[in-house]
Chain A
């Protein structure tokens, strides 16, 4: 469980990091907190020949409000965002979700953007980004792109970030004062991978529901305000559509049942708060 050899580069700025990326192409990987990537290197599931450590770049350590969005730099740890004094006021869903990301120890090194880059199907932060319709800022020597959550994650553990680009920040919309949100996940042990994770946010039309841990990427559905049996029927259709599979942790049938039950609970709670 030791990684293969790699060159280690510690740039002092984003520009320097982009230079190295452009020169190394797909031989390089960007290292921030390393709470997913280093495990992959140890298991040799990833074998880059260059690691670009961006954790000490000061410009990437900011949390700020920009045009109605919370912008989180690529070197901001999950613990730092959780400790941001304005988080509960500006984005209560993130405040609910972050304590479920990994463990106390991994949140103190692991970054918010790093979890998005890893794009693990059961990870909570990609689910938060998709449900809240956030954005990811990506930079390369060719320029800067802002990707919507829907364009960002293209599949299981794959994103639209090109080999010569890196994530410099992600953005979560500031929550509307009227809106309500809820998160609930089921895992075998607190901090383990979610068997099913659900997030719900009230919208002008009804409720937006995000489901993680079942399909390859978070699945987002916008639902009108539903009552009683209509909620159950909609969730049942969704549970089947997600096409979950049996794995050693849970059966597909159990996952469907979790989507139905937890989905009903959080949709009802979020809708009642709205109406």
Chain B
């Protein structure tokens, strides 16, 4: 049994975008704050801090989740993917990010990292998802400037492109 005292900092270790990372956190520190303030991974944004807006969504053990509703100490030994992991080593945008840019699926971009991480899971697990399903996933996010149509279009386009690419390889 592990017991971590309230007032002390405790070592937390996990995989972040394939790389082993560690840092110290008090039990009350939110995962979102740990990523940004301790690890300097500021691509994950913090919006409402009570689980409503979805801006802080990342993938924990493959599943899109809100980091403002998770404590850093709960991340021990987990596998995390954040927006920083979507681009390749050179920093080039991936297909979904490129489609977002081209189809105007973002404006201010504050909510975008969280939305991309949710859609990243959807694209991987449900490559045949339809518009209703995409909108269901997007309902866990709030975008206050662009609206959702461009995001739906971008996701459908990437799904079709990935299917074509996969078909072409056979």
Cβ of B165 within 8 Å of any chain A Cβ, yes or no, is no
* CA of A5 to CA of B10, assembled, Å: 13
> Whole-angstrom distance from the CB of A155 to the nearest CB of chain B?
23
Question: For A39, what are the chain B residues with a Cβ–Cβ distance below 8 Å?
Answer: 50-51, 69
Chain B CB within 8 A of A109 CB: yes
B49 — which chain A residues lie within 8 A by C-beta?
1-2, 42
| Chain B residues with CB below 8 A from A9, complex form | 1-4
Asked if B26 contacts A16 (CB within 8 A), the reply is no
What is the interface of chain A, defined by CB distance below 8 A to chain B?
Answer: 1-12, 16, 20, 34-35, 38-39, 41-43, 49, 51, 53, 55, 79, 99, 102-106, 108-109, 189-191
Other-chain contact of A105, B66, B74, B135 (Cβ < 8 Å): B66
* Option from A7, A10, A99, A103 in Cβ contact (under 8 Å) with B6: A7
A131 to chain B, nearest CB (A): 23
CA distance A106 to B4 in the complex (A): 26
Please name all residues of chain A whose beta carbon is closer than 8 Å to the beta carbon of B113 when the two chains form the complex. none
On B, residues with C-beta under 8 Å from A are 1-7, 26-28, 30, 33, 48-51, 54, 57, 60, 63-66, 68-71, 73-74, 118, 122, 135-137, 139-140
CA A233 – CA B51 in complex, angstroms? 41
Contact A105 B64 (CB under 8 A): yes
**Shortest 5 CB-CB contacts between residues of A and residues of B:** A103-B140, A8-B27, A1-B49, A108-B63, A5-B6
Chain B positions within 8 Å of A102 at CB level: 140
Chain B: CB-nearest residue to A5: B6
- Tell whether, in the assembled complex, residue A105 and residue B57 are in contact, meaning their CB atoms are under 8 Å apart: yes
Choose from A7, A34, A53 the contact partner of B69 (Cβ within 8 Å): A34
B33 contact set on A, CB distance < 8 A: 2
Contact A38–B5 (Cβ < 8 Å): no
Q: Which of A7, A79, A109, A189 is close to B27, meaning CB atoms less than 8 Å apart?
A: A7
By a CB distance below 8 angstroms, the chain A residues around B64 are 104-105, 108
